[in-house]
Structure 1
């Protein structure tokens, strides 16, 4: 599509409310998805690290048990 000026581009041939709201909603949804994914990834990593540390403490306790 060809636009004569930048204001014509922003007007989108009279459909600017639909076009720009669709872009805004899509961009907002993608940002929310990105933020939620990063938070869930961090929580999952924290959970895995806690399990690894717990297993290390259990293993260390078992080694101390065998020394008695």
Structure 2
């Protein structure tokens, strides 16, 4: 087996590599969304903590 046969995947290369690409894209989007939500939650907690400090 050589590298060109491996990357060609016996004629199924477009399906196989496309599937890997879509899975990688989904994982990257998930990481970005989770990170943004985490930052938003921390920002809200910081605001709540600061308002509680000023009220007390």
- Return the TM-score normalized by structure 2: 0.97
List 4+ stretches of structure 1 deviating above 6 A: none
Q: In structure 2, what is the Cα distance between the partners aligned to 1:12 and 1:54?
A: 60
Match runs of 1:1-68 below 5 Å: 4-59=1-56
Larger of the two Rg values belongs to structure: 1
Please, which runs of 5 or more residues in structure 1 have no aligned partner? Answer: 60-68
Compute the RMSD of aligned alpha carbons: 0.5
Question: Which structure has more RCO (C-alpha within 8 Å, separation ≥ 6)?
Answer: 2
**In the alignment, what sits opposite 1:62?**
none
More helix as a share of residues: 2
Please, which runs of 5 or more residues in structure 2 have no aligned partner? Answer: none
